Amino acid sequence: MMELYNSAFSTCSQKVRLCLHEKGLEFVDRQLSFTAGDHLTPEYLALNPNGVLPTLVHDGVPITDSSVICEYLEEIMSSSPLMPTTAAERAKVRAWMRYIEEVPTTAVRPPSFNDLFSDANGALDRDEFEAHAERLPLRKHFYLKMNNGRFEQTEINASLERLAQTVQRMEAALETGPWLIGDMFTLADLMLIPLMVRMDDIGLAHIWNDAPRVTDWFTRVQARPSFYRTFYPGARIKPGSFSIGAVEQVAEQAG
Ligand SMILES: N[C@@H](CCC(=O)N[C@@H](CS)C(=O)NCC(=O)O)C(=O)O
């Protein structure tokens, strides 16, 4: 039995939901609320001492970190593979995964936080805010960079530069597409989907205005059944951005 402790709109949770749906695996959806502090309770910290989502519990064993969970699922479920057959190609996927963890996953956070949580974080006075940050096992210093609930423009600019680099690298890799590693849809593609969705939702889709292969790739990923199962109503943060009809239309067009 698999249980996924996750949140509808957390990008890291979405990575794992995509992977579970790609593999057709059933799971119990355990939704936690950040605002209620569900990720910081002693019970959850016993599963994931980092106090972040997601965590997969498989037959009672907690598995943490979205990339690790996806590789774990790949190991235990060989059907619908998301890793290539040769060691050299698997190394390429892993290199993408490390890059994705280091660059776009961290870069998308400051603009996301400014867009999504600045009102809630800004409503706290500095003492309350620091007390909250103090409770975060992994993210205290990340939170403390915010002032009045917002990251400074210099931080946002650095994020935008790093996200643009990601898109440029995708555009170059897709020359031999349709996927990042050639013919096969792999964990490298999968890990980027929630980040691109988030960029789209917070008004950063212009970053791939001049990247036609990335634009096509983004249309193709939205045609996969795993996409609309992962981004169900409420799982995207742009109001009204989700409509099953629109996604199905994209799927039809993509054939
Ligand atoms: N490396 C971890 C990072 C997980 C992570 O940062 N999750 C975010 C949601 S996407 C979170 O739980 N943040 C908690 C917070 O901001 O307090 C993974 O990929 O699972």
pLDDT at residue 254 tops 50: no
- The gap between the terminal CA atoms of the chain, to the nearest Å, is 34
pLDDT of 117: 87
| Beta strands at 55-58 and 61-64: parallel, antiparallel or unpaired | antiparallel
How far does the centroid of ligand 1 lie from the alpha carbon of residue 51, in Å? 8
Q: Report which DSSP code applies to 150.
A: B
Q: Is the dihedral of CA 186, 190, 195, 197 positive or negative?
A: positive
pLDDT at residue 250 tops 70: no
pLDDT of 69: 98
- The full length of the chain comes to 255
d(CA 108, CA 95): 19
- Identify the residue whose C-alpha is closest to ligand 1 atom 1: 65
pLDDT of 242: 41
Q: What is the mean pLDDT of the chain?
A: 92
CB 3 within 8 A of CB 54: no
Angle at 175 between CA 173 and CA 179, to 5 degrees: 65
Range from 110-119, 129-138, 154-163, 235-244 carrying the lowest mean pLDDT: 235-244
How far does the centroid of ligand 1 lie from the alpha carbon of residue 100, in Å? 14
pLDDT of 239: 55
- Identify the residue whose C-alpha is closest to ligand 1 atom 18: 65
- Identify the residue whose C-alpha is closest to ligand 1 atom 5: 52
pLDDT at residue 160 tops 90: yes
Ordered alpha helix ranges (H), 23-65: 42-47
CA distances to 23, 36, 119, 146, 170 from 124, in Å: 42, 15, 9, 12, 39
pLDDT of 169: 98
d(CA 40, CA 222): 33
According to CATH, the superfamily of the domain at 2-254 is Glutaredoxin (3.40.30.10)
